[in-house]
Amino acid sequence: MVVTIVATVQIKEGKMEEAKEILKEIAKSVVANEPGTLEYTVHTVRKEENTIIFIEKYKDGDAFKTHMKGLGKTMAKAMPLMVPAPPNIKSLTPIE
């Protein structure tokens, strides 16, 4: 079953442009190097200038677990730019 995740993080004041550049590269790397990643896109939010939303899709729970195991290393360059708070993570279920 496909796993869909929406994760929201806050970027420190004045660091958004730097964060966007780093996160674009991270997103490309995740899709290229993590088997089972179907989508990993990074979005800004209108009228919320310091908010980033990740939309992630994995082919199954194992692919998601693989992603989570390497998340600290994957996000190492971006972490100093983020507000030090847990991300808001939501796991979605499609209506069928």
pLDDT tens digits, one per residue of 14-63: 999 999 999 999 999 999 999 999 999 999 999 999 999 999 999 999 99
The pTM for the full model equals: 0.93
The 3 state secondary structure assigned to the chain is CCEEEEEEEEECCCCHHHHHHHHHHHHHHHHHHCCCEEEEEEEEECCEEEEEEEEEEECCHHHHHHHHHCHHHHCCCCHHHECCCCCEEEEECCCC
Given a cut of 90, whether residue 96 has pLDDT beyond it is: no
On whether the CB atoms of residues 60 and 1 are closer than 8 A, the answer is yes
Domains annotated on the chain, with CATH: 3-92 (3.30.70.100)
